[in-house]
Chains A and B, each alone.
Chain A
Amino acid sequence: MKDSEIPDPFAQVRASKGYAEIDDQGDPVTMLLRLKDVRKTAHNYQTFTSEAVPGRIVVPSEVSIRSTRQIPFEVDPPMHGAYRAMIEPWFKRPLQEKYQEQLRAIIADLLKVLAHGEKLDLVYDFALPLQSRALTLLLNSPMEEAETWISWGTHVFRSEGEALDGSKADVLYDYIDAKLDQAVSHPGDDLFSLLMQGEVEGRKLSKEEAKGVMVLTFAGGRDTVINAVTNAMAHFASHPEDLERLRREPELINTAVEEMIRYFSPLTHMGRVVTEDTQVCEHALKADSRVSLCWASANRDEAVFEEPNQLKIDRKVNPHVGFGFSHHNCLGATHARQVMRLLLKEMAASISSVELIEGRENWEVWGDFRRKVGYHQLQVKLQPRH
């Protein structure tokens, strides 16, 4: 099969025009493709709002399958800042030593169980359990909960395949409802309890608001983390020299992770709704139309990145937007960075090689663009070092 390469389908249109118009369930989107335009537009929440009808800033739109507003994601400043201030310290816990040690143990245990030179599926046997068990740390939930989340599959809103799946969303919503009720009747020290006791602007958070935070936490860090983990492992199969180099130069782990986030761009783009007639990239945009900030294209912008299609684990200056940009940057980034840093560290410590056997690539379709984001399945053999 082909190697771990993630091609850039946007290069030509990014250079010639800078934007592309695509349809999405009858609510068209203008995709912005250049890094500078993406950054400026992301920063300007007044003209490009996230506070539209719930689900509309997501591409593909989730308007038909969800009414709960995701928080703080679908709220603009100043209220956005109030929510963010309340939950930010919790989402910075991955910086604590104890958290990192527990996360390291989750990854090391999985590798120990799986790395015997026998065939395994990286998505289902490794990335999915890793993401779910790591999430128990972020939520401070019991480790057993991970088994329930694993049973939901790789995308909590999408069945295997492409279409948005409302029935799958209900499973998540019912689960979150039950956990929030439990957090009121039996308060504990998990994220559900923090939210139900939490205050914003001097009043208690409503259950609907708490639910909005939890839906975001579950949905935002699911297939994104799974794709980042799977792509990183696939990269080491095609580029064993990079795994060798991390063994010799562990100080490169940070630049390697940031470069992988740039190169993989686990989230292709995120939308905004235009609040007034305006223009971007000399292109007129009408009020109430949609744009998308195409992180994946911006991250390959040759005007900024030298050799943008090369994954260089020692890239020192790397102003990527893989975690978004400005006020709405990724709430889970601290956690995701620790997952990736510890994955690379443990891979270097305990795995001698990754051998790709076969896989089914996951290609998204956006108008005329087709973009590989990762794999539906990826069979590999992991050889232990000792």
Chain B
Amino acid sequence: MAKITFITADGSSRAVEGHTGSVMELAVSHGIPGIDGDCGGVCSCATCHVHVAPEDLDKTGQASEIEKDMLELADGADEFSRLCCQISLSEDLDGIQLRVAK
């Protein structure tokens, strides 16, 4: 079980929990605003862009090359950006904080 906190565009935060699948799927199933996941998680649409809290980056890991190429052209991307369809849920992620990109 991992508890993940999403901070949405309006500044409010919501903590949700999940076991399996991707972080994008968890967010979509809880209706987190700003995470659409249009392509269902194949790294094609960039509608699941989040900024990982700096202290949590070692837990989520870095983006792959393919993901970096997508993020390069995403609005507001920085060194903490990830497409959260590419982050698999696991207990290691427990307690991390993700800010939904605008």
Taking beta carbons and an 8 Å cutoff, which residues of A are in contact with B?
A: 36, 39-40, 43, 254-255, 257-258, 304, 315-323, 325-326, 329, 333-334, 337
Per the bound structure, the CA–CA distance linking A262 and B78 in Å amounts to 28
Judging by beta carbons under 8 Å apart, are B40 and A254 in contact?
A: yes
10 further A-B contacts with Cβ under 8 Å, apart from A318-B42, A323-B44, are: A43-B73, A254-B40, A258-B39, A304-B66, A319-B43, A319-B44, A321-B44, A322-B44, A329-B45, A337-B38
When the two chains form the complex, which single residue of B40, B64, B69, B70 contacts A258, counting CB atoms closer than 8 Å? B40
Q: A317-B66, A326-B73 given as contacts; is B44 within 8 A of A254 (CB)?
A: no
Per the bound structure, the CA–CA distance linking A326 and B44 in Å amounts to 11
Per the bound structure, the CA–CA distance linking A209 and B69 in Å amounts to 35
Shortest distance between the CB of B40 and any CB in chain A (Å): 4
Per the bound structure, the CA–CA distance linking A39 and B86 in Å amounts to 20
Shortest distance between the CB of A262 and any CB in chain B (Å): 8
Per the bound structure, the CA–CA distance linking A40 and B73 in Å amounts to 7
- 7 chain-A/chain-B pairs, Cβ below 8 angstroms: A39-B69, A315-B42, A317-B64, A318-B39, A319-B69, A320-B42, A337-B40
Tally of B interface residues using CB under 8 Å: 14
Residues of the A chain whose Cβ atoms lie less than 8 Å from the Cβ of B39:
258, 318
Judging by beta carbons under 8 Å apart, are A255 and B73 in contact?
A: no
A interface footprint on B61-99 (CB within 8 Å = 1, 0 otherwise)? 000101001100100000000000010000000000000
Residues of the A chain whose Cβ atoms lie less than 8 Å from the Cβ of B64:
317
Residues of the A chain whose Cβ atoms lie less than 8 Å from the Cβ of B40:
254-255, 257-258, 337
Judging by beta carbons under 8 Å apart, are A319 and B70 in contact?
A: yes
Residues of the A chain whose Cβ atoms lie less than 8 Å from the Cβ of B42:
254-255, 258, 315-320
Per the bound structure, the CA–CA distance linking A244 and B78 in Å amounts to 43
Judging by beta carbons under 8 Å apart, are A39 and B38 in contact?
A: no
Judging by beta carbons under 8 Å apart, are A317 and B69 in contact?
A: no
Judging by beta carbons under 8 Å apart, are B41 and A36 in contact?
A: no
Shortest distance between the CB of A212 and any CB in chain B (Å): 24
Complex: chain A residue closest to B83, CB-CB:
A319
Q: Which residues of B in the span 19-75 have a Cβ within 8 Å of any Cβ on A?
A: 38-45, 64, 66, 69-70, 73
Question: Which 5 pairs show the lowest CB-CB distances between chains A and B?
Answer: A254-B40, A318-B42, A43-B73, A258-B42, A319-B43
Judging by beta carbons under 8 Å apart, are A318 and B69 in contact?
A: no
Per the bound structure, the CA–CA distance linking A258 and B42 in Å amounts to 8
Residues of the A chain whose Cβ atoms lie less than 8 Å from the Cβ of B86:
317
Judging by beta carbons under 8 Å apart, are B38 and A333 in contact?
A: yes
When the two chains form the complex, which single residue of B38, B43, B45, B73 contacts A317, counting CB atoms closer than 8 Å? B43
Per the bound structure, the CA–CA distance linking A213 and B77 in Å amounts to 31
Residues of the A chain whose Cβ atoms lie less than 8 Å from the Cβ of B41:
254
Most buried by A among B64, B69, B86: B69
Judging by beta carbons under 8 Å apart, are B73 and A318 in contact?
A: no
Shortest distance between the CB of B82 and any CB in chain A (Å): 14
Residues of the B chain whose Cβ atoms lie less than 8 Å from the Cβ of A320:
42, 44
Per the bound structure, the CA–CA distance linking A124 and B41 in Å amounts to 33
Per the bound structure, the CA–CA distance linking A315 and B43 in Å amounts to 11
Complex: chain A residue closest to B28, CB-CB:
A95
Shortest distance between the CB of B34 and any CB in chain A (Å): 13
Residues of the A chain whose Cβ atoms lie less than 8 Å from the Cβ of B69:
36, 39, 304, 319
Per the bound structure, the CA–CA distance linking A320 and B43 in Å amounts to 8
Complex: chain B residue closest to A305, CB-CB:
B66
Residues of the B chain whose Cβ atoms lie less than 8 Å from the Cβ of A333:
38
Shortest distance between the CB of A35 and any CB in chain B (Å): 8
Per the bound structure, the CA–CA distance linking A44 and B44 in Å amounts to 18
Residues of the A chain whose Cβ atoms lie less than 8 Å from the Cβ of B45:
323, 329
Per the bound structure, the CA–CA distance linking A316 and B44 in Å amounts to 10
Per the bound structure, the CA–CA distance linking A313 and B66 in Å amounts to 19
Per the bound structure, the CA–CA distance linking A165 and B12 in Å amounts to 53
Per the bound structure, the CA–CA distance linking A171 and B40 in Å amounts to 37
Shortest distance between the CB of B37 and any CB in chain A (Å): 10
Residues of the B chain whose Cβ atoms lie less than 8 Å from the Cβ of A255:
40, 42
Judging by beta carbons under 8 Å apart, are A318 and B44 in contact?
A: yes
Judging by beta carbons under 8 Å apart, are B73 and A319 in contact?
A: no
Residues of the A chain whose Cβ atoms lie less than 8 Å from the Cβ of B43:
317-319
Judging by beta carbons under 8 Å apart, are A334 and B38 in contact?
A: yes
Shortest distance between the CB of A259 and any CB in chain B (Å): 8
Complex: chain B residue closest to A316, CB-CB:
B42
Per the bound structure, the CA–CA distance linking A322 and B73 in Å amounts to 17
